[in-house]
Every structure is written in C-alpha cells, then in structure tokens.
Structure 1
Amino acid sequence: MSSLDIAASSSVHRDETAEVVLLLAFTGGFIDAYTWIIHGVMANAQTANLVLLWVHGGEGDWGNALRFVPPILAFAVGIIIAAWLRRLTGERAPAISTLVEILFLITIGILHNRLPDLAGTLGISLVAAMQTAVFTKVEGAVCSTVMITGNMRHAIEALFAATLGGSRVGAFRRSGILTALCMAFGLGAAVGAFATKSIPDLALGIPVIALLVVLLRCEVTPRQVSP
C-alpha cells in the first residue's frame, strides 16, 4: 500500500490537504510568472536560473549571467530559514512560514517602486524557497508546490501503476491530485502573467489572498482532517 493509500484511509495533516496544496501551487506559478516578466529571472525554478547563468556565461555575457546569481542565493537563504523554523516551531512551521511569506510579499509590493531588484529577485525567491521547504507533501505523498517536473513524473507513474492493477483507488487518486497540482501551477502562471501586465503595482495582492486562505486552513481547521 502506498503512502497516499494509507493517508487516504485515515486522516492527514491540515497542511497536507489537497485544498491547501492546490492554493500553494497556484501561488508558486503566479510568482514565477511575476518575477520572469518583471525581472527576467525565475523565483522557483533554480534549475532554469542556473542553466541561463551558464548559457550567458559561456557566451561571455557576464552582465546578463550574473543577474541569475541573486535569486539562487536568496533561494538558499530561504531554505535555511525554513529549516530553522521547522526546528524551532515544529508542527506550527507551516502556519508560521505562510505568515512570513505573506508579510514578505506585502513588503515586496511596497518596496518594488524604490528597490525593485532587491525586492523582486531576492525577496520573492526567498519566499519561494520557504514554501518549497515547508510544504512537501499532499495527503502523505511527496509533491512540490513550486515546480511540476516531479509532480508530472509521480502522476504518470501512479496512473501506470493503476492500469496494472493493485490498489487502483489510491493510485488513481494520487495521479489525479498530482495532475491537479500541475494544472493549478499553470493556472497561477497564467493569472500571474495577466495580472503583472495589467495591474503590476497590485499584482502581488493575489498570491497574498491565496496565502491568507492557506493560513486560515492551517490554523482554524483541526490538526488532522479527512482527505
């Protein structure tokens, strides 16, 4: 029996519910689109930042190449902060991390007119790192809310396993949830691109609202809920 089968048969942590993780995936896609359009770098996809760093560096265009260093470093700092929060706060780490993300995004929105590079590339990558380090599962199964590569692989594997028999209900559910995560990420990117171009000064208010809902779900609902 898979980890998702076990989770689906009992209760899951409130920060691992499908509703919470889908909102986080939407947020992940949104802020990636936002930072790409505004700054030409990725907030979440450090693989892309590293590839572009060396593509430009290999061409000798170090002016463009070095633009990708700050978000990579900020992402590393965010991972460290998230690890520290987990050690310090234990089970409350998801809620506290979400609150920190909200405060950071509000601050970034305020500072963007005065310190665009610092606020955009450093602040948002730090927020993205905290999210990816704290929210790592959906109903007990490993997932990502800031990129879709792993989710796609696990969704396809689960679907393949379901077609071969075994625990079909659990496998189909796992594949469906992970597929939904990919779609939520894509929807977030689409909304993020539209909002960034249409209302750039207010665009970050949308992920803030999504994160507020996540915070309420993590704090108000019981510690464990039925999937």
Structure 2
Amino acid sequence: MSTLNIAAGAVRRDETVEIVLLLAFAGGFIDAYTWIIHGVLANAQTANVIFLWVNAMAGDWTKALHFVPPILAFTAGIVMAAWLRRVAGERASALSVLVEIVFLIVIGILHNRLPDVAGTLGISMVAAMQSAIFIKVEGAACSTVMITGNMRQTIENIFAVAYGGAPLGTLRKSAIFFALCAVFGCGAAAGAFATETIPSLALGIPVIALLIVLLRCEATPREVVT
C-alpha cells in the first residue's frame, strides 16, 4: 500500500498502531539494556559491524570479536522468524512474540550465571525475530527495532504535506512514524533507568509490553490488508 489504509477491518491486528508502538518501546528498552550491560547493540547490527571493523583495523581483535556473537545471533533469529512464517502462516506474529517472551524470561534467570551468553546471544535473537516479523504499520513498511527508516518517513511525509498535493492520510502517516521514533526513545530511556537501578528485574518491563502485544494479537481474528 502506498498510504496507510485506516478503513475499518482493513488493517491486520499485528499491524495496528497500538501493537507497533508497544514493540517500539520494547525495542528501545532492549537496546539500552544490552548496551549498558554488554557493550553491544541487540537491534542495530550496523553499529555492531562498524565497531567490529573499527577495532579490527586498529588491531584490537579482542574488542573486535566481542561484536561477532550478537551479529551471528541476529542472523539465527532472522532464520527462525523465516521458518515461523513458513510453518505458522498467520499465527507467526503471535508465536514469535511468545518465543520472545520465553527468551527474555530465560535471559533474566540466566543473567547472573551466564551473562554474556544470555545477553548477547539471546537478546539479539529476540530482536531479530521482532524485526523480521513485525515490519508494517497499517500496511506501510516500518521498523520497531530502530528509527532510521521511521525518521526518514516522518520527514518525507511532513515535506509532502508542506509542499502541497499530498495524498489523504499523509499527515496521519507522518504522525505515526514520529510516534514510533518517540516511543523507541522513551523505551531506551526507560531501559537505561531500569538497567541502572534494578538490573536483575529490568527485563520484566519489556516482557510486560510483549505480553500485551500477545494478548492483542490473539484478541480477535486479524484481517488482511486489501
């Protein structure tokens, strides 16, 4: 779809604004958590690749290799999400959220015993699954684990409205993408605060957000965008 379709019954349940905003909050929270605890980013593999090669070119292979596990785990998460879409079809979104919840609970339990394995591998897999399964809001492509594309769409749509002749719904579309950026930032702020103050319980917050997403995904049958 070229514009957000907001007609009644036209939006899939897993593409509603409510759900993608909750996922954006969880995405920002998890990235802040992994950066503070492990010094890597769960979602932004671009940054991990840059840090990998910057340190490799400086000859510091210990630091460089520190960024390899999350990249590999992210790859594994994408493969898992692709497999879920193939075998589960329309239920892939709900099942992926359930897997994310289980992973985060296990990570929270194992954090004190196996912090590196639990943090860098488990959380990057969670982030990968979310980025691969939840890719649209009301039919328009978006991201719930990073803001670069969302920011671009916000600016482009504001420009289109200001320039004139923008299609109906463009301003709403811009507002939604702006909200995704803002909520992601709020999630990062909450993640930083919770990780510093209650590190052993911090992951419970994104788990709650994901539980709400799971309940909303399963609340009513989802309609396919037409």
Instruction: Provide the rounded CA distance (Å) in 1 between the counterparts of 2:3 and 2:216.
Output: 23
Give unpaired runs (5+ residues) of structure 2: none
Secondary structure at 1:147 match in 2: coil
**Does the Cα contact within 8 Å between 2:3 and 2:170 map onto a contact in 1?**
no
Instruction: Write the deviation string for residues 151-173 of structure 1: whole angstroms up to 9, x where unpaired.
Output: 00111111111223334541101
Instruction: Write the deviation string for residues 13-51 of structure 1: whole angstroms up to 9, x where unpaired.
Output: 000000000000000000000000000000000000000
Superposition map of 1:67-216 within 5 A: 67-216=66-215
Deviates more, 1:161-170 or 1:113-122: 161-170
Secondary structure at 1:3 match in 2: coil
**Does the Cα contact within 8 Å between 1:2 and 1:170 map onto a contact in 2?**
no
**Does the Cα contact within 8 Å between 2:81 and 2:132 map onto a contact in 1?**
yes
| Post-superposition offset of 1:139 | 0.3
- The one-letter amino acid of 1:13's match is R
Matched, 1:23 2:8: no
| Post-superposition offset of 1:8 | 1.6
Give the number of aligned pairs: 224
| Post-superposition offset of 1:3 | 3.1
Partner residue, 1:3: 3
Superposition map of 1:36-55 within 5 A: 36-55=35-54
> Scaled by the length of structure 1, what TM-score is found?
0.95
RMSD: 1.5
**Does the Cα contact within 8 Å between 1:20 and 1:217 map onto a contact in 2?**
yes
Instruction: Provide the rounded CA distance (Å) in 2 between the counterparts of 1:62 and 1:167.
Output: 51
Instruction: Provide the rounded CA distance (Å) in 2 between the counterparts of 1:150 and 1:105.
Output: 26
**Does the Cα contact within 8 Å between 1:154 and 1:175 map onto a contact in 2?**
yes
Instruction: Provide the rounded CA distance (Å) in 2 between the counterparts of 1:72 and 1:3.
Output: 33
Partner residue, 2:216: 217
More helix by share: 1
> Scaled by the length of structure 2, what TM-score is found?
0.96
Identity, % of aligned pairs? 71
The verdict on how the C-alpha distance between 1:80 and 1:185 changes in structure 2, with shifts beyond 3 A counting, is same
Instruction: Provide the rounded CA distance (Å) in 2 between the counterparts of 1:183 and 1:225.
Output: 27
Partner residue, 1:34: 33
Instruction: Write the deviation string for residues 129-148 of structure 1: whole angstroms up to 9, x where unpaired.
Output: 00000000000000000000
**Does the Cα contact within 8 Å between 2:27 and 2:43 map onto a contact in 1?**
yes
Instruction: Provide the rounded CA distance (Å) in 2 between the counterparts of 1:168 and 1:48.
Output: 35
**Does the Cα contact within 8 Å between 2:3 and 2:169 map onto a contact in 1?**
no
